[in-house]
Amino acid sequence: MDKILLSTFLISLLVAISGNLAVFRKASFLITSVAHSALAGVALSLLLSSFGIQQDYFLLATIFAIAFAILASLTSKFSDIDTGIAISFALSMSLAVIFLSQIRGMSAKIWSFLFGDLFLITEQDLLYLTFSSISIVLIFGLLYEKLLLFLFDPEGARVSGINPKLFDAIIVTIIAISVVAVIRSVGAILAYSIFIAPSAIAKEFARSVKQSLIITFVIAMISLMTGIFTSLILPISASALSAFIASTLYLVIFYIKIYKK
C-alpha cells in the first residue's frame, strides 16, 4: 500500500504539470496521441522480446512518445494542431497494431499497458515514475516563467528572445515523458481522462496558474485514491474507476454551469 500511495502522489504531480500544459497549449488531445505512440513503443519492445531480444519498454515507449509528439507539433505548423495530432495518432496506432499482430502469447502484458493496473506496479515501474517526476518538476520549475510567457503571450516571448520551436518541443517532451511514466499504472486508453479531466475542472475555477496546478493535483489525487479504495471493495479496475470518477466530476460541473446560465 505504501508503494501504491507513493505512486498515486507522483502520478497526481505529473498530471498537474502535464495536464495543465496540454490544456494551456490548447492541445489536450495530444495526451491521447502520446499515450498511443508510447503503446507503439511498448508493442515493439514486446515484439523484440518474443524474438529473444530483451529491450526495456520504458526506453522505447519514451522514444516513440517524444518522436510522435514532436511530429504532431511540427505538422501543426502546416495546418492546425488537431490535424497534426490526428496524423500522428493514426501513424503511431498503425505501428502499434502492426507490432501487436506479430506477437503471440503476451495478451496479459499487452492488456496491462492498455488499461493499466495500480495494484501491479513493480519496483522498476516506481523507479521510472520517481525519476520522471523529479526530472519534470525540476525542468518545469526552472523554466516556469518562460513557459508561461510562451503559452500565454507568444509574441512577447519571441520579443524576449524565447525560441518558440525549442519551448514547444520542451512542452511536448514533458507531456510525453509524463504519459509514458504513468502508462503502466493507468493505461494508454484511460490516460486521457486522468490527465485532462482534472485540468479542465481546474481551469473553470482557478484564478492563477498556481491555483490551477494545486486544484488539478487535488482532484487527480482524490480520483485515484477513491478508485483504489473502491476497488478493494468491488472487483473493478482501480484505474478505470479513477478515470470514471474524474470524467464524471467534470461532466457534473459542466452541466451545473450550463444550468446556472
Residue 70 confidence class, pLDDT cut points 50, 70, 90: confident
Identify the band that residue 73 occupies on the pLDDT scale cut at 50, 70 and 90: confident
Q: Using the predicted structure, report yes or no on whether residue 140 has a pLDDT greater than 90.
A: yes
Tell which wins on pLDDT, 81 or 148: 148
Q: Tell me: the pLDDT tens digits for 204-236? A: 888 899 999 999 999 999 999 999 999 889 888
- Over residues 144-179, the pLDDT tens digits come to 999 999 988 888 888 888 888 888 889 989 998 999
For cell 515501474, name the residue.
Answer: 125
CA distances from 36 to 45, 64, 78, 191 (A): 14, 9, 23, 10
Q: What is the pLDDT of residues 231-245, one digit of tens each?
A: 889 888 888 899 899
pLDDT reported for residue 78: 66
This prediction's pTM: 0.88
- For the chain, the domains span 2-186
**Average of per-residue pLDDT across 7-23:** 93
Contact 243, 190 (CB under 8 A): yes
Which residue reads 474524474 in cell numbers?
Answer: 246
Mean pLDDT (whole number) for 63-91: 78
**CA 155/CA 6 separation, integer angstroms:** 40
Residue 140 or 32, more confident: 140
- Position 251, amino acid: L
Cα(169)–Cα(131) distance, integer angstroms: 20
| C-alpha–C-alpha distance, residues 155 and 49, integer Å | 48
What pLDDT score was predicted for residue 199? 92
Can you tell me the mean pLDDT for 43-63? 84
The number of angstroms, rounded, from the C-alpha of 219 to the middle of its chain's C-alpha atoms is: 15
Q: Which is higher by pLDDT, 36 or 144? A: 144
Higher pLDDT, 116 or 173: 173
Cα 198 to Cα 29, 50, 125, 163: the distances in Å are 14, 38, 23, 30
Give the mean model confidence (pLDDT) for residues 126-146.
93
CATH entry 3.40.50.300 includes domain 2-186: no
Rounded to the nearest angstrom, the gap between the alpha carbon of residue 59 and the centroid of all alpha carbons in its chain is 16
φ, ψ of residue 235 to 5 degrees: the values are: -80, 60
Q: Tell whether the model's pLDDT for residue 108 goes beyond 80.
A: no
